[in-house]
Each structure stands twice: as structure tokens, then as C-alpha cells.
Amino acid sequence: MSYKITVLPGDGIGQEIMVQALRFLKVVAEKFDVSFQLEEKQIGGTSYDLFGNPLTEDTLESCYASDAVLLGAVGGYKWESLEHHLKPEAALLKLRKSLDLYANIRPARVYKSFLEASSLKNEILDGTDFVVLRELTGGIYFGQPRGYDKNEGYNTMRYSRPEVERIARQAFEIAKTRGKRVTSVDKANVLEVSQFWREVGKEVHKDYPEIELNHMYVDNTAMQIVRNPRQFDVMLTSNLFGDILSDIAGMITGSLGMLPSASIGEKYALYEPVHGSAPDIAGQNKANPIAMIASVAMMFEYSFQMSHAAKLIDEAIERTLKKGLRTVDIQQQGMKLVSTVEMTDAIINQFEEVANEQAVGMFLL
């Protein structure tokens, strides 16, 4: 198999962590019968400096012609005073919209060796493994009418049937490959748009009798994430509710430097860490590469149906953390402080080790 990937390092630490992600692609290509055709393009401030435009047609064309897009991060102090449409962040929004990436997936999975670092108690957190599936291109962020004047401000939360159907279907499809449970989040006790969301979800569910579906109000969901996060498998949310809940879910399980994400549409898919370009530590070989490497794992799982490779990467990250290696953002007493490159070296070593163990295991079977 051969896959074409557009590589967009972006700005700040985006460039450093992307170098590490590409090392991983090489290792995976060597281990599995797969090849990657990489096309590197510019986005964000780096693109603005070169072309006067944070997202060129050339970059977009490359994304349209790819099986997946890998993105580092964009932004930085240098570009903060640019006009809104020229800012690095505007490029990211335009890219997501152009590729019609309507489904955002953020896993909330706890690395065992990282349990101590969470704000929750071990016994509540241990075993947590769910994904937040957030609708990304509709809802109150895009609904019309919107505006404000001296006397009032208003936004409109609206969803069309196709918008809810496609995200609900995506949730059930993901649940099929996991724990077979979907929790659909809404505020149906007060919002009509949520009643509609719930009804359409139930209709789509008829095609997935093997999946368990339950409905939960958003306020209760926020509470349940910190009370008993193990109860969730796939959490299906609208744009606004998902924005808030995915941050809660992310932070109970790790630091910003460890959170990957996938944004998926009918035709295209983009994988990126949740964090930004971290200009405060850029260029210092300090950035945690785990969010980026875990985003590569998500690409294997969701775009290339290589969940075995994704699992190997996750296991390699888990073992590396267990050995006590920590980058500056997740530093703990008694642990070894390492650089971006050292952390990646260690994860690659662990990856080789796990892959070899599995090969021996298969042989013995």
C-alpha cells in the first residue's frame, strides 16, 4: 500500500515536532508493508512570510490530492498584529472549512504511568478510555443570524438533518471499532435544537442495533466526566458542547503536550496535536512530541485502517513514560528530564521492542 500525506509543519514547535513525526513514519514504513509519499507545504506565519498569505492555493491543492494531512501548529507573537484574515490561525480555520472536516475526534485515554499527574484520583481515572466526537462545521459557531449592537448580542444554534445524521453515523461507526457504546450529549430539556439532535440520533441508531445508545444532558456530562469517566466510550456532541467537554476530558488524562486529535470529513482527514505553536519554548528542543506522535497513530487508525500500528505506537509511548522519561511540560519529581529528540528516540526504541516482541509472539503461536 502507498499513501500520500501532505505535511504542514507550520510555526514554532510545530516544525520541531513534525520532524519527529516524520521519523516515526519512516520507522512504521520499514516495519509494515506500506510506503508514504510525503509532500511538505507551508501554512500559518511561515507561509505568510514566504508568500504574503497564510494558506496558499498550492498548499490547499496538495491537501485535496492527499490521503491525509498532518499538521504541526500555527501562530506566534510575530504575526499577532496582522489583519484577521492574514493571521496564522485564520489559515487553520479556512483549511478545516475547505476540507469540510465536520467531525473532530479527541481521545481521552490515560497512560497508566501518568495517573499520578492527573487532578483526579487514580481509582477514578484508571481504565478511562473514551473519545469525544465533536461536530465541527455547524451549530452555534456558524448559525445565522448572529451579531451584536449596543443593546443586545445574539447567536443561533441550528442543525440541519444531514449535519446531524452524518456526525451520528460517524459516532456509531467509531463505536463499532471500540466499546460499542455511544453517549449523545444535548440539552434537550430546554433547547429545541437539542430535541432535534436527539430524535435524529435515535433514527440513525436504527441502522446500528449492535451499538448501545444513551442520551445525557451536557451539564450532567461535565459532572460525570470527573465523577466516573470510565462509563464513556464514544461521546457524541455538537460543536459548542464538544469544545468545552473535550477540554475537560483532555485535561483529566494528561497535559496539553500529550493530546492528539483527528478532524475527519467525507473525503479528507487532518491530524494534529491539540496544543498550539508554544512560542515560549520554540527552537529549544524542549517540546513534548507525544501529542504529535499520537496524532500520527490516529492517522494510521482512522485513515489507513492500520490500527495494529496505532496500538504499537500507543504501547511504545506508554512504556517510555513508564521508564520515567519526561519532557519539561510533564516534569515530575524523580523522573528524568529529556528533550524533544531524546523523547522521540526513546519512543522509537520502545516501538521496535514491542514490534519485535509481537513478531516473536506470532512465531511462537
Q: Which residues bind ligand NAD (CB under 6 A)?
A: 13, 73-76, 89, 92, 256-257, 272, 275-281, 287-288, 291, 327, 329
Cell numbers that stand for 317 in this block: 509511548
Q: Which is nearer to ligand NAD, 11 or 135 (CB)?
A: 11
Using CA atoms of 183, 127, 251, 24 in order, give the dihedral in degrees to the nearest 10: -100
Q: Distance between CA 75 and CA 172 in Å, rounded?
A: 35
- State in angstroms the smallest separation of the CB of 281 from ligand NAD: 4
- Residue 242: count of CB within 10 angstroms of its CB: 25
Cell numbers that stand for 345 in this block: 528516540
Phi, psi of 320 (to 5 degrees): -65, -40
Q: Distance between CA 176 and CA 197 in Å, rounded?
A: 21
Question: Residue with C-alpha cell 452555534?
Answer: 140
Cis peptide before 145 (omega within 30 of 0): yes
Q: Distance between CA 360 and CA 312 in Å, rounded?
A: 15
CA 42 from centroid of its chain's CA atoms: 20
Q: Which is nearer to ligand NAD, 128 or 277 (CB)?
A: 277
Cα diameter, the chain: 74
Cell numbers that stand for 287 in this block: 517540546
Q: Which of 58, 26, 17, 18 is nearest to 41 (CA)?
A: 58
Active site positions, annotated: 141, 187, 219, 243, 247
- State in angstroms the smallest separation of the CB of 279 from ligand NAD: 6
Q: Which of 44, 76, 74, 54 is nearest to 279 (CA)?
A: 76
- State in angstroms the smallest separation of the CB of 103 from ligand NAD: 17
